[in-house]
Amino acid sequence: MAQSHTEQLKTRKQELEKEISYTNQLINNVSKNKQNTLYTLQLISNKINRRMELVANLKSEIYELNDSLAASKVEVNKLGNQLKEMKSEYAQIAYYLYKNNNPYTRMIFLFSAKDINQAYQRMRYLDEIAAYIRKQAAQIKRLEQLKKSKIIQLKSKKAEKSSLLDQETTQLSKLEMEQQRKSRVRRKLSGQESKLRTSLRKKRRESQKLEKQISAAIAKATASKKVGKKTEVYAMSPYDKKLAKSFLANKGRLPWPVKNGIVSQTFGVHNHPVLKHVQIKNNGLNIATASGSIARAVFTGRVVSIVHITTTNIAVIIKHGDYFTVFSGLEKVFVDVNKDISPLQSIGKIHTNIQGKTELHFEVWKGKHLQNPAWWLARK
């Protein structure tokens, strides 16, 4: 069964709370080194974004609960009015029956009939009134129980609303503290401009090397073949066509390339979090995870290349028909070139640096064209 919107909000709230908790663990791990790094800033920014989403989620829950409370109050008032009318009608009929249903009055009412048929009709009339009043009494009792149940629900909803308002206040307070911490870290990093620019140049060189290697691997995997004097244009095999079609069919449902992790940097061009007038281009997703974490395949495919960018940054490129997935930031690889890969198979161990940063870089390509991995992975 499909979840109601209220249930979806509650589920999303649990997901956000879980992600915030996991981000806290990652921040605590890198904070042990007592160094202010861009990675720390990214984790804090991620937590702030999730916290803001959590606050918005709580506001939506409160909004829906207000609507539900209003509807419940209307329903309780409606039941109250209905009961009032039924009890008034019941009292009138009960009084009439009390006056006219004693044996003496009943006999006079029956014997004063013109004939036997009228007497029979009068007897039926009295019996029907008695049956009706019993039915009304049962209906009144049922409505009173229903009203009581609705009042209990109403009190429960009021208590839930009070709890949500308290949660919202708590989250807003935490959000303010986190924003203050983010500002402090950014100010301290601003004093390390030379170091940041050196690090940025190094990362750009690594990114360019990786992109070059990916292009070469894709070109090789899709190269045309020369048979005699003729050149055969590259064409996918029936198996590759089926694999590519299946990969596309799973868009938005692919498993995450790590068991647990959060996005520390999204796809696309971003302003540098500290350096002014500097932009960073990300060809994929950066996923922060815990030390010792393993990268895993997201779909059936074949390893077409393993690239050593640095001694602690190895990349694995996997082919899925005419789609390719890329895993970099590995310090150890568990697969070999030209070997088939199954979904969730371990690819390699993700490197953890001396500051405690453990981050996987993940890309998706269709032929020579970059894709936003967020469109392909299942929502956590």
Measured distance CA(215)–CA(223) in Å, rounded: 12
Pinpoint the alpha helices (H) of the chain: 5-31, 38-100, 103-111, 116-190, 193-221, 238-249
Q: Is residue 199 part of a domain?
A: no
Measured distance CA(349)–CA(333) in Å, rounded: 7
Examine the fold and report which residue of 134, 160, 190 is the final residue of a domain before the chain moves on: 190
In the chain, the amino acid numbered 285 is: L
pLDDT tens per residue across all 380 residues of the chain: 556 778 888 888 888 889 999 998 898 888 776 676 888 889 999 999 999 999 998 898 888 888 888 877 887 788 777 777 777 776 776 666 666 555 545 554 455 556 666 655 656 666 666 676 677 777 777 877 877 887 888 788 888 888 888 888 999 999 999 999 899 888 888 888 888 898 889 989 999 999 899 988 888 887 765 555 565 566 788 899 999 999 999 999 999 999 999 999 999 999 988 888 889 999 999 999 999 999 999 999 999 999 999 888 999 999 999 999 999 999 999 999 999 999 999 999 999 988 888 999 999 999 989 999 999 999 87
Taking Cα atoms as reference points, which of 322, 321, 286, 325 lies closest to residue 305?
Answer: 325
Mark whether 84 and 216 lie in a shared domain: no
Mark whether 360 and 254 lie in a shared domain: yes
Examine the fold and report which residue of 144, 161, 190 is the final residue of a domain before the chain moves on: 190
Do 376 and 251 form a contact (C-beta atoms < 8 A)? yes
Q: Is residue 197 part of a domain?
A: no
Mark whether 177 and 241 lie in a shared domain: no
Do 330 and 339 form a contact (C-beta atoms < 8 A)? no
Do 307 and 330 form a contact (C-beta atoms < 8 A)? no
Q: Is residue 231 part of a domain?
A: yes
Measured distance CA(310)–CA(210) in Å, rounded: 10
Strand-pairing partners, residue 349, are 294, 332
Mark whether 227 and 115 lie in a shared domain: no
Mark whether 276 and 128 lie in a shared domain: no
Angle at CA of residue 113, ends 108 and 115, nearest 5°: 140
Taking Cα atoms as reference points, which of 207, 200, 297, 197 lies closest to residue 256?
Answer: 297
Mark whether 185 and 115 lie in a shared domain: yes
Mark whether 51 and 181 lie in a shared domain: yes
Mark whether 89 and 182 lie in a shared domain: yes
Q: How many domains does the chain have?
A: 2
Measured distance CA(315)–CA(309) in Å, rounded: 7
Mark whether 329 and 248 lie in a shared domain: yes
Examine the fold and report which residue of 190, 225, 250 is the final residue of a domain before the chain moves on: 190
Q: Where residue 348 sits, what CATH number does that domain have?
A: 2.70.70.10
DSSP per position, 47-106: HHHHHHHHHHHHHHHHHHHHHHHHHHHHHHHHHHHHHHHHHHHHHHHHHHHHHH-SHHHH
Mark whether 29 and 116 lie in a shared domain: yes
Instruction: Give every CB contact of residue 374 below 8 A, 6+ residues apart in sequence.
Output: 263, 266, 267, 285
Mark whether 211 and 279 lie in a shared domain: yes
In terms of residue numbers, what domain contains 283? 204-375
Q: Is residue 198 part of a domain?
A: no
Q: Is residue 126 part of a domain?
A: yes
Q: Is residue 159 part of a domain?
A: yes
Mark whether 323 and 352 lie in a shared domain: yes
